[in-house]
Amino acid sequence: MKNKTSLPPQEGEAHPSRCPDNSAFKQQKLPAWKPQLTIESVLSSFFLIGGFCLSVGVCLILSANSVREIQIDYSDKCSDCSKLRENSSNWNKECHCSVNFMLKEDILGDVFMYYGLQNFYQNHRRYVISRSDAQLLGRNVNIQKSYCAPFTTYRNGTPMAPCGAIANSMFNDTIDLFYNLNSSVIQVPLLKTGNSWWTDKNVKFRNPKSYNLSSAFAGTARPPYWQKPVYLLDEEDERNNGYVNDDFIIWMRVSAFATFRNLYRRVRRIRQFADGLPAGNYTFRISYNFPVTKFKGRKHVILSTVVWSGGSNPFLGIAYVVTGTAATLTGFVITAIHLKLRKKKTYFQK
């Protein structure tokens, strides 16, 4: 084999140039700004950031502390129902329990009801991905190819709707609130819709298209732990059924922590409750369906108000205070170092 040698370009022959274009960008001639750090600018930046973060943090903490909240643990008070639910053969038996409590002061404004779970880990990877987003959008998909296993189909091949471990473990206790006024018992009106995010209700979750929901979910079956099919989650409001049910949507938004709360209801501000919940004696009547004993969990009901910064969680305010304190302390340390070095420089100059 003969070696191929490159011949020098002949006279008059054009050859490509490897030099970059003579432009300001490629020749790195663009105007640039380089900050000149001085001790005055550095210290002022640290102290301004520290003061800003401390001010915002204090405001957030004071705002969070102004939230009115009452939390009721009903795990032990409904122990009989809990024992009944631990036996899976009793899934179709109803069990009710009541929890009495007293409000010493009025809770004014909008009142939100949450259910809280403790020691329930939703952040396990296999649990988090055990869903079919395409199915929840109302599409006709093969859920066997999804991550829903083992909650995809029954032994006879009937697909589950919705599929996956998240949907199967949905919280299904029913909680009603009653106000005991003298010798009469008044049920507090609660709103079960309008509690989910707009994007969830209109973008992430949609029902299959059909002339009615029962026909849309024909050929499917409810998850094993459910007592009702998905198209009967709310028998009072047809628009709150199927995949767009508010309780279902909120449950499908998994939590990063083992202890969490989800919005359940809002108090409808009418009649005696136009200004909120008046002081007095109240009763929670609970239809107990969600067992927690096997994983050593606890269940709570929370009544709470909200403020401009959100709920009663002070974490964001504490984070701002810690950041502001760190920036301020750093400013003082830099000031001390600067003064010390300046004194030494003045001494050596003399």
Claim: this prediction has a pTM higher than 0.85: no
Residues 192/246, Cβ–Cβ less than 8 Å:
yes
One-letter amino acid at 125 equals: R
Q: How far apart are CA 208 and CA 188, in angstroms?
A: 34
Q: What is the pLDDT of residue 15?
A: 65
Q: How far apart are CA 265 and CA 250, in angstroms?
A: 11
Q: What is the pLDDT of residues 127-177, one digit of tens each?
A: 999 999 999 999 988 888 889 989 999 988 899 999 999 999 999 999 999
Q: Where are the domains of the chain?
A: 44-67+311-333, 76-107+121-255+278-297
Q: Is 185 helix (H, G, I), strand (E, B) or coil?
A: strand
Mean pLDDT of the chain: 88
Percent of the chain with pLDDT over 70: 94
Q: How far apart are CA 185 and CA 165, in angstroms?
A: 39
pLDDT reading at 123 higher than 80: yes
User: Residue 150: is the preceding peptide bond cis (ω within 30°)?
Assistant: yes
Q: How far apart are CA 296 and CA 292, in angstroms?
A: 6
Q: What is the pLDDT of residues 37-87, one digit of tens each?
A: 888 889 999 999 999 999 999 999 999 988 999 999 999 899 888 888 887
Q: What is the pLDDT of residues 75-121, one digit of tens each?
A: 989 988 888 888 777 777 889 999 999 999 999 989 999 999 999 99
Q: What is the pLDDT of residue 258?
A: 93
